[in-house]
């Protein structure tokens, strides 16, 4: 495990900017108003050949200014308990705050090293702003500018000297799972149920989750990376800049995941936006699982689930192969079954088929049902090969790629599914141009005849 460093401080002190600075990313949302960050956000840092994880936290406030203040405080406390070292970030522009003193009193009860940094100090001439913070009884203050990088190297040099030794673990086999869906369908509740802790803030207010929150976990010996995302609303319903950025980050999380858990509020039923979100996952080629959340409060009879599944298959025809599982994140019903399904989908998602068996599949398929003529000429499929997995992707060389009708392409994909058992994942098949050897021979014979005619003349 890598050592963990938590960045804490009052709202709008610049914690997310510092997080982005030291991780060299733009993963944490940043804006001028306080309260943008609510959940814990993890990133990786390497400094002086020392690797560690850093946690960005929501602003600490000892008062309940809004519905999320107490929830953000809980996240801060959990980040502190997980940390091997802590950076307490002060706002050098606004000066000392009562919240700084409250947080300092909490941190002084801890045994881990604490580094006190005063942000928004853009140069030596601004270091006089540190004087106010020495009143807290702190011996060493680090003047920094998270935005411009001033003082960051000195802070990190001191920090890594106090971190415990890193025990490296291989993250290449980690299955990346993105939890996506409309706002307030229960994505964060599902993450918390899986982890058995309040890892992310849950509220009935839509839009509570703003960042894409990554959490590594191990279940039954398999490592997973769970990515909680912001709810994806219709474009015309998104007005705030911060929410637009959140949705962009949610869509990017789909691009880097192996499996997308598409959470649907079963109590509300299937909406057009649910289908659109499913389309995003399909377009990006990831494995998918539909989770019908809140199934415990759905009025049902012996036929309800069957009818719901039939309607979902009809609405999202492009994902008719996707497994569907009714669950309750609130009660935990069927939640453990999710990972059995994830493992099954992932095993198919990473399948590779040797060229020999693959071409036998195509030979049988084209012999059983021949392709239609293209401009009066017969299509010839020469050979196929798999070019990648995640998802399994194949190329078939043919004399006229443009002549392969989409219905015949679908037929060939179905034959691959049928003979290989790839029945729960997307399968991609492309056609590439290759000249017909018989045509080349014919052209060669024709050119020879023409040369002979010229000689006789």
Q: Which of 244, 424, 414 is nearest to 348 (CA)?
A: 424
175-349 and 355-440 agree in CATH topology = no
pLDDT at site 129: 82
> Which is more confident, 4 or 237?
4
Confidence of residue 201 (pLDDT cuts 50, 70, 90): very low
Does pLDDT of 63 surpass 70? no
Average pLDDT value for residue range 430-446: 63
Looking at the chain, the whole-number percentage of residues with pLDDT higher than 90 is: 46
Residue 1 confidence (pLDDT): 58
Quick one: pLDDT band at residue 68, thresholds 50, 70, 90?
very low
Question: Between 237 and 105, whose confidence is greater?
Answer: 105
355-440: which CATH number, 3.30.300.20, 3.40.630.30, 1.10.645.10, 3.20.20.70?
3.30.300.20
Q: What is the pLDDT of residues 14-49, one digit of tens each?
A: 898 999 999 888 765 544 444 444 445 777 889 998
Residue 403 has pLDDT above 70, yes or no: yes
Of the listed ranges 86-100, 195-209, 264-278, 343-357, the least confidently predicted one is 195-209
How does residue 419 score in pLDDT terms, banded at 50, 70 and 90? very high
Lowest mean pLDDT across 280-294, 345-359, 411-425, 428-442: 428-442
pLDDT above 90 (res 221): no
More confident of the two residues 41 and 101: 101
Mean pLDDT of the chain: 82
Q: Are the CB atoms for 305 and 326 separated by under 8 Å?
A: yes
Q: Does residue 436 have a pLDDT over 80?
A: no
pTM for this predicted structure: 0.63
Convert the pLDDT of each residue in 329-387 to its tens digit.
999 999 999 999 999 999 999 999 999 999 999 999 999 999 989 999 999 999 999 99
Residues 301-344 have pLDDT tens digits of 889 999 999 999 999 999 999 999 999 999 999 999 999 999 99
pLDDT at 43: 79
> What pLDDT shows up at residue 40?
59
CATH T-level topology, domain 175-349: Rossmann fold (3.40.50)
**Higher pLDDT among residues 71 and 385, named by residue:** 385
**Any idea where the domains of the chain sit in the sequence?**
4-161, 175-349, 355-440
Q: What is the CATH number of domain 4-161?
A: 3.40.50.300
Separation of alpha carbons 328 and 265, rounded Å: 10
What local confidence, expressed as pLDDT, does residue 3 receive? 85
């Amino acid at each position: 495990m890598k050592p963990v460093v938590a960045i804490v401080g009052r709202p709008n002190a610049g914690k997310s900017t510092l997080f982005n600075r030291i991780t060299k990313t733009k993963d944490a949302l940043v804006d001028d108003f306080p309260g943008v960050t609510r959940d814990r956000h993890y990133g990786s840092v390497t400094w002086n050949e020392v690797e560690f994880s850093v946690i960005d936290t929501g602003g600490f406030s000892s008062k309940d200014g809004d519905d999320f203040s107490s929830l953000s405080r809980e996240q801060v406390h959990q980040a502190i308990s997980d940390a091997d070292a802590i950076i307490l970030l002060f706002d050098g522009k606004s000066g000392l705050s009562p919240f700084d003193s409250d947080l300092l009193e909490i941190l002084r009860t801890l045994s881990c090293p604490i580094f006190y940094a005063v942000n928004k100090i853009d140069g030596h001439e601004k270091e006089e702003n540190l004087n106010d913070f020495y009143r807290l009884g702190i011996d060493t203050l680090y003047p920094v500018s998270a935005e411009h990088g001033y003082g960051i190297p000195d802070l990190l040099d001191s920090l890594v000297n106090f971190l415990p030794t890193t025990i490296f673990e291989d993250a290449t086999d980690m299955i990346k799972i993105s939890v996506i869906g409309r706002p307030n369908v229960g994505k964060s509740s599902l993450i918390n149920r899986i982890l058995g802790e309040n890892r992310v803030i849950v509220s009935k207010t839509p839009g509570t989750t703003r960042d894409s929150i990554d959490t590594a976990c191990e279940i039954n010996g398999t490592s997973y990376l769970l990515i909680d995302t912001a709810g994806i609303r219709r474009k015309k319903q998104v007005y705030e800049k911060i929410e637009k950025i959140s949705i962009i980050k949610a869509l990017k999380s789909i691009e880097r995941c192996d499996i997308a858990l598409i959470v649907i509020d079963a109590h509300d039923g299937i909406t057009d936006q649910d289908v659109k979100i499913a389309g995003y996952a399909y377009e990006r080629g990831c494995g998918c699982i539909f989770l019908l959340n809140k199934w415990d409060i759905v009025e049902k009879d012996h036929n309800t689930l069957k009818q719901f599944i039939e309607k979902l298959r009809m609405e999202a025809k492009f994902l008719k192969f996707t497994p569907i599982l009714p669950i309750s994140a609130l009660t935990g019903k069927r939640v453990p079954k999710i990972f059995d399904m994830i493992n099954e989908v992932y095993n198919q998602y990473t399948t590779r088929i040797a060229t020999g068996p693959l071409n036998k599949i195509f030979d049988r398929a084209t012999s059983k049902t021949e392709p239609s003529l293209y401009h009066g000429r017969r299509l010839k499929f020469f050979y196929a090969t798999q070019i990648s997995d995640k998802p399994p992707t194949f190329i078939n060389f043919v004399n006229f790629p443009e002549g392969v009708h989409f219905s015949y392409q679908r037929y060939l994909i179905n034959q691959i599914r049928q003979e290989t058992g790839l029945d729960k994942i997307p399968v991609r098949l492309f056609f590439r141009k290759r000249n017909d050897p018989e045509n080349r021979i014919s052209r060669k014979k024709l050119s020879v005849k023409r040369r002979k005619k010229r000689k006789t003349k």
